[in-house]
Structure 1
Amino acid sequence: MWLLASLLCLTPLQAHIDCMYVVGIMGENFTFPVQIDQRVVEPVWKKNKDIVAEWEEQNKPTYFDPLRNRSVLMENGSLTIFNLKKDDAGTYMLQYWDSVKDHYLDFKLDVLDSLPEPNISCSISDDELVLNCTARFQGSLSYTWKLSNKPHSHQNQELSIPLKHVGTTTKATCIIKFSQTRRSSEISLIQCLPEEKGNRSRDSLIGAFVLTAIILVGILVFLCRKGPFLQRGLLARQSPACSDPWGDFKRFRTLFTFEYHIISASMFLWVVAVSLSGNPAFQHIPYSPQFSFICKLSEIAFCVLVHVGGVKQ
């Protein structure tokens, strides 16, 4: 990972030579961008005038502190430093021979802090959800946004999404990149919606379920008093109180299998239809405490229904 810029470097051998400014990130691997079209003979790398790596002909490469055991010298003269440290910053020089004369390449290496994970903030402006991605870093970063429900990416630090397109399961990922290093952060768009809107949706959900439960119980009580349910018998109970709600519910399900499945299928289809409507509150029904409360309320309603039938008989 590196960036280049033309500088002037002073060496004891030459007054002025071209110098490449390169940047690495702490903790990452870094390879000096050596591009030599001819055969490299006996390459020698120096840092601040001290030899750190050399390759004498017919021998293997030799490494010296501070790059011993954390660098590799290739046949083309390139040098790679592993697990870059702040102390690795400095002026490096590659000296090599091409069977005719010596050549020199100089690099000025700067080591930046590790690339942090980006921070994502969100706000609502007019009818749009605005996402902003930031990261504290010394270098110039590129930003990319990706949405879980869309295949395309957006090359910008800020992303605006119409509120009508914000799905409750949609997630947004911000990716920052410096050279070849990437970091990313993710956010669920539902948490960016106003709290009041979510509360109103949940209140509507509770009201709709309670209303549906009342209607169903009213219909069943009406049918029970008219007689069709009691004609099958076996529903009367001797105890004056509802001591076993779950048992009553299971007996109801066993004796009135057809009616039970009709009611269950109707409620299921109703929930599915509302979920597909896109209301954020309804898409989390299976995990909400309100839904658990409604289930308990339905069990009590069935228990009351059975006892109403028992009193009539």
Structure 2
Amino acid sequence: MPARPAMAAGSDAGRAPGVLGVVCLLLCFGFISCGSQRVYGIVHEKVTFSIASNVPLNEILWKKQKDKVAEWENSELRAFSPFTNRISLDPVSGDLTIFNLTSSDEDKYEMESPNITGTKTFSLYVLEHLPSPRPTCAFTNGSIEVLCKISEHYNSHLELIEYSWDCPMEQCKHNSTKIYFKLEDDIPQTIQCTASNPLVNKTSSIILETCVPSRGHPRNRYILIAALAGVIIVIICIVLYVFGILKCNRKTDRNNSS
């Protein structure tokens, strides 16, 4: 008698891999959707949820959460508010395109059809247009601190923004909002910082010499000093020349009077 439970357990254990195998096959062929696919769009632009179905779709229903977005039935398309005049549906592939995106469009979408098993789900993230970063710098404790940040007024999915640097120094290989340079290092003349999200990247540059006012531009300073010295020498020569002429004139006047 005790052997029967063991056989049952063994048969269940043997059946489990078979069930898992079927599930894996269904996942591979796209008949079951586990989890949502992330899709990103930009305000006032368009985004497409791609289904790419391999079977003809006689009926299609797109929903945003529980609300209907679009419905294809009897070869007719019906769009629901607030997507009226803002969508395009491909009845062959099942792809849905939303135009003139707004931040309120951000949500979870899913497509259902009696021609396919399960549902296709998408999580839409609507991003504001990304501004260019504004690199700033400061000189403290013998080091140059460079900060790369976008405008503080931008608050559209800040968690999706990444920062990177471009310069030949080791510091620029690290993705961060702040890097440091020591004065004794061979500091590059210009570095670039880039802010990026899943759709866009924007780059700005900064000249590091402007971060150290006392250091300035040594070559220009030397040229200025040399030019100033040359002017002084010319003035002295002119003064000596004038005094020399006056002196000569005085001697000539004396000789004439004698």
Partner of 1:86: 103
Higher relative contact order (CA 8 A, sep 6+): 2
Partner of 2:82: 66
- SS of residue paired to 1:191: helix
The change in CA–CA distance for 1:23 and 1:33 in structure 2 (over 3 A counts) is: closer
The answer to whether 1:191 aligns with 2:210 is: yes
The change in CA–CA distance for 1:122 and 1:87 in structure 2 (over 3 A counts) is: same
TM-score (norm 1): 0.50
The answer to whether 1:140 aligns with 2:160 is: yes
Q: Aligned to 1:39, which of 51, 55, 79? A: 55
Partner of 2:232: 214
Equivalent residue runs for 1:10-25 within 5 Å: 18-20=34-36, 22=38, 24=40
Counterpart residue identity of residue 103, structure 2: K
Counterpart residue identity of residue 66, structure 2: K
Gaps of 5+ in 2: 1-31, 253-258
Counterpart residue identity of residue 212, structure 1: G
- SS of residue paired to 1:139: helix
Retained in 2: the 8 A contact 1:40–1:77?
no
Q: Which whole-Å CA distance do the structure 2 matches of 1:114 and 1:206 have between them?
A: 46
The change in CA–CA distance for 1:219 and 1:66 in structure 2 (over 3 A counts) is: same
The answer to whether 1:52 aligns with 2:69 is: yes
Equivalent residue runs for 1:1-313 within 5 Å: 18-20=34-36, 22=38, 24=40, 27=43, 29=45, 31-36=47-52, 38-41=54-57, 42-56=59-73, 58-59=75-76, 61-74=77-90, 75-98=92-115, 101=116, 103-111=118-126, 115-124=130-139, 128-135=143-150, 137-146=157-166, 154=173, 156-157=175-176, 158-161=178-181, 163=183, 164-167=186-189, 170=190, 172-193=191-212, 195-198=213-216, 206-219=224-237
Retained in 2: the 8 A contact 1:24–1:30?
no
Counterpart residue identity of residue 46, structure 1: K
Q: Which whole-Å CA distance do the structure 2 matches of 1:180 and 1:64 have between them?
A: 28
Q: Which whole-Å CA distance do the structure 2 matches of 1:118 and 1:40 have between them?
A: 47
Q: Which whole-Å CA distance do the structure 2 matches of 1:105 and 1:23 have between them?
A: 13
Identity of aligned residues (%): 24
Counterpart residue identity of residue 109, structure 1: L
The change in CA–CA distance for 1:56 and 1:162 in structure 2 (over 3 A counts) is: farther
101-110 or 195-204, larger mean C-alpha shift: 195-204
TM-score (norm 2): 0.59
- SS of residue paired to 1:87: helix
- SS of residue paired to 1:165: coil
Q: Which whole-Å CA distance do the structure 1 matches of 2:44 and 2:142 have between them?
A: 42
Deviation sequence 1:3-40 (CA, Å, 0-9, x none): xxxxxxxxxxxxx9633053545516453553445134
